[in-house]
Structure 1
Amino acid sequence: MSRDPVLALDSVSIAYDSDDSQVLVVKNVSFSVFPGEVLGLVGESGSGKSTLAYGIMRLLKNASLVSGTVTIGGKDIYAMKPSCLRQFRWSQVAMAFQTAMNALNPVMTIGEQMIDTLQSHLVITRDAARLRSQELLKLVRLNPEVFFRYPHELSGGMRQRVVIAIAIALEPQLVIMDEPTTGLDVVVQRSIIDQIMEIQKIKKFAILFISHDFQLVADIADRVAVMYAGRIVEITSGKSLDNPLKPHHPYTRGLIRAQPRLDAEQATAIGIPGHPPDPKNLPSGCAFWPRCEQRQAICRQFVPDLLPVNDLLVACHFMREEGAHVRQFENQ
């Protein structure tokens, strides 16, 4: 496997315009996604996950890249001219959006939308595009008859499969999935996730999988990036999240505890106290300190850097000693 990243973010900050100022909602984010890898991006609502995803695709309307670079396949996506960017999207990087009904055109059949995507990027006849579209529908386990249907004639799970089929139509290097199973029941969600992973193994594309469902991401991801208040606070392996005794950022540990343990005698979950901060009014220092049970004075004074500790990267003042469970874990 090539170790050149498909996606590389270097010190990316993104801000929204607000009255007479800018509000930073993504702050100094750096990470890479490698060929064939599934990188999960998790965090509570408002942590900046979707803003980051749209920023990677250069789809933000009311926000701007303040600093940093986003490269996909070694190409700086913010340096591209609009004509090049339009061709680059879907052929090199694609996105499965959160709400399938909003992602599909309600007045076009599924087939028309799929053909339009293919013919916009490939020199291909309409008949060849139709055959390719029906092959893609079969790949996501949909009857080819769906080709002739309108979005409102399909169930939520079927619409989501169509969105995934369109996302992989041009076999991109990277597919960004922004909570692709939101609003679906658990059985349908699991079925779609299983299909995504089967297709990913066949097509070998990389996935940036964004979700607030911590256990789901831990199950499917090779690595997981945890985001809080616009910053990455931890990057670790997906398997390590199954071990609640392993040292993690206090926020990550809180997310783990907040997941119901269905294998226990009684399903229980312990929520993280408090609420994520308003990006317009962030606390000084580490943004998590008002909710952290192990906070110390230094937490209010300085923003911790994301630094290596054992086999993870973590932004916490008290996880700097190599190999140690340190002070914030003594009482757990």
Structure 2
Amino acid sequence: MITFTLCLLVLIVGYFIYGRFVEKIFKPDNRSTPVLLHADGVDYIPMPAWKIFMIQFLNIAGLGPIFGAIMGAQFGTASYIWIVVGTIFAGGVHDYISGMLSIRHDGESLPEIIGRYLGLSVKQIARIFTIVLMVLVGAVFVSGPAGLLAGITPKALDVGFWIIVIFLYYVLAVLLPIDKIIGKIYPVFAAALLFMALDILTMLFWHHPALPELTDVIVSKKVIYPIFPMMFVSIACGAISGFHATQSPLMARCMTSEKQGCTIFYGAMVAEGIVALIWAAAATYFFDKNGISYLSEGKEILYT
């Protein structure tokens, strides 16, 4: 529990120290934000900072910090370190800068900002890349929840049924003004995601399971699986993900002050890192303390 607790504290402290350091470099000011200049009742609608934070958190998180952390937990405490370092120095900075750049460019999305500086050709390439990325992520975020819902509902409501329902929900969320569905439902879903993580965290401290420690690997000088590259591929959404840059403009169009940026963009990434760390810690317990059982069987697998 010592390694996990220290990593959790470092994430929290990292927000207040490194997050504010990044904010100081960007220098947010009192200039008018896109929503104050281009309010249209559709995409540019002012919303409270807490609601924007919750929506941003859900937009960038979803199933990523859960599934990714569980898959990456097989690497033991190395997954803890990657989540902490990645969130503070990479993911949080990436999300904050991409969100603030959108605010400084009238709430434009990433391809439009790229096109301003690199030309039309690069803009079109970025658009194609973004579309492909969104289709892939969208497929996962439709099939994943559909599978979960099919498992807890009557057999008549199979995966295909839930895929149609979720897809129709996505279509409505896109077509209607952002405050109609996204602004009302997303904060509730985000609260549920945070509540689940809080429940698991409470369980960890209450039952105090024998979680793996960093010293386990140091003493044994062995690790269950090669860390590079699979750990970084498994745990992306929860440490750093370029996909987040496609989501930040949605909330950049609803912020009434640039000074909300650190809390909303960097803070949401740290919240996602905390969720990923909690799920990874719970999962590592079931992977039997950094794979010590594998080592006892004489299987020696070294770092790459």
TM-score calculated relative to the size of structure 2 = 0.23
Which has the larger share of helix?
Answer: 2
Which has the larger share of strand?
Answer: 1
